[in-house]
Amino acid sequence: MSINSFIVRSLQLPPRKNGTHAYGLLTASREHTEFHRKTSLRGVNITEVNCFRIQWCSRLSVMFFYVLCVFRVRQDLISNTDPLKKGNTVRTKHLLMFWQPLSVESWIGMRRGSLSDVKDSVNTIIEDVRVNGDKALFSLTEKFDHQKLSSLEIPPEEIDAAYDQVSPELVQALIEAEARITQFHELQKSKTLWLEEMEPGITLGVKTTPLDRIGAYIPGGRAAYPSTVLMTTVAARVAGVPEIVVCTPPKVNPLTLVALDIAGVDEAYQLGGAQAIAAMALGTETIRPVQKIVGPGNVFVTQAKMMLREYADIDFPAGPSEIGIIADASAEPRYIAADVLAQAEHDPNAACVLVTDSKKLAAEVGEEIAVQIADAPRRDIMEKALAHSGYVIAESMEDATDLMNRIAPEHLSIQTVDALSTLSGIRHAGSIFIGPYTPVACGDYASGTNHVLPTAGYAKSYSALDVNHFMKRSQVQMVTREGLESIGDVIEALATAEGLAAHANSVRLRRE
Ligand SMILES: NC(=O)c1ccc[n+]([C@@H]2O[C@H](COP(=O)([O-])OP(=O)(O)OC[C@H]3O[C@@H](n4cnc5c(N)ncnc54)[C@H](O)[C@@H]3O)[C@@H](O)[C@H]2O)c1
Ligand SMILES: N[C@H](CO)Cc1c[nH]c[nH+]1
Ligand SMILES: [Zn+2]
């Protein structure tokens, strides 16, 4: 029998009335046993979850380890007023707070599962919008956003007034971020037309055209996302899209309004969630449908995009944030913990995974997370995200690279001695951040790369949002009489073999 790990989590349970302890054995099987114990110590409410991997052991030995485990945890807790406060980290070395071993399979299942769990409720919302149009948008906004709207459009006066509510420094920060994002996206533009004579009389090429009308979803439920206004609309504008429509949940944050103005969007609606995606895909009395919907959002938004792609194309599933970190013993645990918490604070459905060959590093990151989370303003959200986050111990760094490719995280942070050689083995990741001084926040806001990225393993087949998502390419050819002579026999032979005589004839009569 081996003790797999000890995890202690504060669930911030309401104080027990009589201040006594509650004990409970929740699950026990041959392979895995979890002892949950709720404790109230000096006003700190704690749930201990003690996990064992048990093979063929007797009930007596389970009880022995349980008592030992409870005793050690209790000793640690008694010595601290609040073990979750800074400076009061729990003494027991193998006791990790908020940080648990994961398997790659469980990670993959969990990421896809959180999206499919909401299929039924999203379908109901889509059908409501399809049948009732604007009326559904007003009532769904009241239901999910608790706002009684008088219009779906964001009134232009509200955008003008927003400038008085934000500091000039913040406006300047948006302008600087926009300039960097524009610069990087300009590099992605391809020629509007290229033509190449492949052989005498046969000229081939590609004509690139922007889409006519796109919709960008800007999240706004648990945080404001002015940065996402820039990420989506700058890429569309650089591509040359003439009509850019934005939807964002009501009670729009003033800085988001300012970002809409700086970005120069054409239409802006105060509409969030799956209903916003349905409105842009299907159209309503007020909102004309768009050709393509881009932008991130929570599980409802992302599921709606996936379900409506028959009506409007989408960029890719860009759901709750994720970070994968591949690190060896040389990495700085404080930086890793900080990057983990940065993505964990987005959403209870966000998720973080460290893959490393160093058990010591994994433990140190757990301890750092416990220290840094103590005073974090969004600790509640982080704790929920961390409940399905953790680490994977790899046998070697090659093994770690393979595991990370199976995870295909939205953001990948590389913290290894030879980061560029680690990079060479990486095949699947939305956006990659290399070295100790490249926190993911660089790409979230201002380095210039796009922060709209595929999640839930979709980085295996999709790329970060860029100018190409807003363009389509028509292939072009121009063949002369001489050119037709050189390929005519091949075409006529293949067309005849396929039994398509009219195809063959269209070439033959030109050669007569
Ligand atoms: N992958 C990326 O590129 C990327 C980038 C930025 C942000 N994100 C993610 O975007 C998400 C933003 O989420 P958010 O919640 O803050 O804002 P959001 O705008 O995505 O979602 C809020 C909307 O969800 C709807 N909603 C809430 N509860 C609902 C329920 N029970 N049933 C139906 N609809 C409901 C409401 O209408 C609300 O307007 C986060 O998960 C964040 O991690 C991802
Ligand atoms: N990390 C997010 C993408 O998952 C992007 C973002 C916006 N603001 C802060 N972060
Ligand atoms: Zn972020």
Residue 11 has a pLDDT of 31
The mean pLDDT of 31-49, rounded to a whole number, is 45
Q: Which ligand is nearest to the CA of 143?
A: 1
Q: Does 218 score more than 50 pLDDT?
A: yes
Q: Whose CA is nearest to atom 17 of ligand 1?
A: 221
The count of C-alpha atoms lying within 13 angstroms of the C-alpha of 148, restricted to the half-sphere facing its C-beta, is: 0
Catalytic residue among 322, 364, 410, 492: 410
Active site residue 345: no
Verify whether ligand 1 is closer than 6 Å to residue 272 (CB atom). Answer: yes
pLDDT tens, 68-96?
Answer: 656 655 555 555 444 444 333 333 322 33
Binding-site positions for substrate: 321, 343, 346, 411, 444, 498, 503
CA distance 130 to 274: 12
Q: In the predicted model, what is the mean pLDDT of the chain?
A: 87
pLDDT tens, 246-293?
Answer: 999 999 999 999 999 999 999 999 999 999 999 999 999 999 999 999
Q: Does 211 score more than 90 pLDDT?
A: yes
Domains of the chain: 1-97 (no CATH), 116-314 (3.40.50.1980), 319-451 (3.40.50.1980), 480-511 (no CATH)
Q: List residues bridging with 390 in a β-sheet.
A: 100, 353
Between residues 389 and 47, the one the model is more confident about? 389
Q: Which residue shows structure tokens 């964990």?
A: 344
Comparing CA positions, the residue from 185, 182, 189, 244 lying closest to residue 217 is: 244
Closest ligand 2 atom number to CA of residue 343 = 1
Q: Which residue shows structure tokens 């290399």?
A: 434
Q: Whose CA is nearest to atom 10 of ligand 2?
A: 444
Residue 87 has a pLDDT of 38
CA distance 270 to 276: 9
Q: List residues bridging with 6 in a β-sheet.
A: 50, 95
Verify whether ligand 2 is closer than 6 Å to residue 227 (CB atom). Answer: yes
Verify whether ligand 1 is closer than 6 Å to residue 322 (CB atom). Answer: no
* DSSP letter (8 states) at residue 17: T
Q: Does 48 score more than 90 pLDDT?
A: no
Name the residue of 229, 231, 300, 316 to mutate for ligand 1: max ligand atoms within 8 A of Cβ: 300
Q: Whose CA is nearest to atom 5 of ligand 2?
A: 444
Verify whether ligand 2 is closer than 6 Å to residue 232 (CB atom). Answer: no
CA distance 96 to 318: 31
Catalytic residue among 48, 185, 368, 411: 411
* DSSP letter (8 states) at residue 347: -
Q: Whose CA is nearest to atom 7 of ligand 2?
A: 444
For residue 52, give both structure tokens: 């064992």
CB atoms within 10 A of CB 355: 27
- Report CA(92)–ligand 2 centroid distance (Å): 35
For residue 277, give both structure tokens: 């995606």
Burial of 67 (0-12, 13-18, 19+ CB in 10 A): exposed
Name the residue of 222, 228, 440 to mutate for ligand 2: max ligand atoms within 8 A of Cβ: 228
The mean pLDDT of 354-362, rounded to a whole number, is 96
Who's near 320: CB < 8 A, 6+ residues apart? Answer: 114, 298, 299, 302, 346, 347, 349, 350, 351, 455
pLDDT tens, 122-151?
Answer: 999 999 999 999 999 999 999 999 999 999
For the ranges 108-112, 282-286, 405-409, the lowest mean pLDDT is seen at 108-112
CA distance 14 to 29: 30
pLDDT tens, 226-236?
Answer: 999 999 999 99
The mean pLDDT of 487-493, rounded to a whole number, is 98
Length of the chain: 512
Residue 315 has a pLDDT of 98
CA distance 275 to 283: 11
Residue 370 has a pLDDT of 84
The mean pLDDT of 393-420, rounded to a whole number, is 98
Q: Is residue 5 very low, low, confident or very high in pLDDT (cuts 50, 70, 90)?
A: very low
Between residues 465 and 39, the one the model is more confident about? 465
C-alpha angle 127/471/286, rounded to 5°?
A: 35
| CA 414, 418, 420, 421 torsion-angle sign | negative
Binding-site positions for NAD(+): 217, 275, 298
Max CA-CA distance within the chain? 101
Verify whether ligand 2 is closer than 6 Å to residue 10 (CB atom). Answer: no
Closest ligand 2 atom number to CA of residue 228 = 7
Residue 367 has a pLDDT of 85
DSSP conformation letters of 244-306: EEEEE-SS--HHHHHHHHHHT-SEEEE--HHHHHHHHHH--SSS---SEEE----HHHHHHHH
Q: Is residue 8 very low, low, confident or very high in pLDDT (cuts 50, 70, 90)?
A: very low
Q: Which ligand is nearest to the CA of 140?
A: 1
Phi, psi (rounded to 5 degrees) for 214: -125, 160
The mean pLDDT of 176-203, rounded to a whole number, is 98
Active site residue 36: no
The mean pLDDT of 404-426, rounded to a whole number, is 98
3-state secondary structure 82-151: CCCCCCCCCCCCCEEECCEECCHHHHHHHHHHHHHCCHHHHHHHHHHHHHHCHHHHHHHHHHHHCCCCCC
ipTM of this complex prediction, to 2 decimal places: 0.99
Closest ligand 1 atom number to CA of residue 217 = 19
Residue 60 has a pLDDT of 65
Residue 98 has a pLDDT of 65
Verify whether ligand 1 is closer than 6 Å to residue 328 (CB atom). Answer: no
Closest ligand 1 atom number to CA of residue 248 = 19
Verify whether ligand 1 is closer than 6 Å to residue 449 (CB atom). Answer: no
